[in-house]
Amino acid sequence: MFVRDMVGNTAYLATLAGFAFSVTGIGDLIASPFLGKRSDRIGYKRVLTISLLGAALMNIPQAFVHNIWAFLLARFVMGMFMGGILPTANALVGRLAPADQRGRVYGITASATFLGSFFGPMTGGLVSAAFGISVMFIVTAALLVLNWIWVQFAIKEVGED
C-alpha cells in the first residue's frame, strides 16, 4: 500500500513492492561480510552501535519520501546497516557468554529472534493500521535508537573488564 501511494496503480506495482522488500536483503547480503571483518578489526560493540544507529537514521527518511527511487535507496542503505546487527550481536553474545553456557545463551537469543519475527510484523501492522505506515518507520527508528542506547551503556566490548 505504501508503494502504491508513491507510484499509483501501475502495471508493475507488485514488482516494485517486491523490490522494495528485497533491496533491503540485498543491502544486508552485501554488507554482512564486510561488517563481520570490521567487527574483528575495530570491535563488535563498535560495529553493532554503528549499525543500530545507521539503521535507525535510514528508517526516518522512509517515512517522508514520495519518490520510489529515494525509498528504494533508503531501504538499500538501511539493509546495509541491518547486515551488521544480528551477526555482530550474535558474535558479541558468543564472546561474552561463558564457554559452558554458550549453548543456552544461543538458544535464548534464537528464541528472542523468533519472537521478534512474530511480534514485530504483528505490532507493526497494528501501529500502521492505527496511525499510518509512515509512523511505523519512525517507531522502528525509535526502537533502534533505544537498542543503540542500551548497547552503548549496558554492553561491554569483548576484552573490557
> What is the rounded CA–CA span in Å between residue 33 and residue 39?
10
Q: Does any domain span residue 147? A: yes
How do residues 20-52 score in pLDDT, each as one tens digit?
A: 889 999 999 999 999 988 988 998 999 999 999
Identify the residue whose cell numbers are 571483518.
37
> Of 51-60, 84-93, 145-154, where does mean pLDDT reach its minimum?
84-93
160 pLDDT more than 60: no
Are 99 and 20 in contact, with CB atoms under 8 Å apart?
no
Q: Does any domain span residue 88? A: yes
Give the confidence band of 161 by pLDDT, cuts at 50, 70, 90: very low
pTM exceeds 0.75: yes
67 pLDDT more than 80: yes
| 2-15 average pLDDT score | 81
Q: Does any domain span residue 13? A: no
Are 133 and 22 in contact, with CB atoms under 8 Å apart?
no
How do residues 87-124 score in pLDDT, each as one tens digit?
A: 898 888 888 888 899 899 989 999 998 999 999 999 99
Q: Does any domain span residue 159? A: no
Q: What's 119's domain CATH number?
A: 1.20.1250.20
For residue 18, CA distances in Å to 2, 21, 22, 37, 107 come to: 12, 5, 6, 30, 32
The total of structural domains in the chain comes to 1
pLDDT of residue 151: 93
> What is the rounded CA–CA span in Å between residue 44 and residue 41?
9
Q: Does any domain span residue 83? A: yes
Q: Does any domain span residue 118? A: yes
> What is the rounded CA–CA span in Å between residue 109 and residue 75?
25
Are 48 and 84 in contact, with CB atoms under 8 Å apart?
yes
In sequence order, which residues have a C-beta less than 8 Å from that of residue 66 and are 6 or more positions away? 6
> What is the rounded CA–CA span in Å between residue 94 and residue 87?
11
> What is the rounded CA–CA span in Å between residue 85 and residue 80?
10
> What is the rounded CA–CA span in Å between residue 100 and residue 113?
22
| Residue 71 in grid coordinates | 525509498
Structural domain span for residue 124: 2-7+18-154
Give the confidence band of 7 by pLDDT, cuts at 50, 70, 90: confident
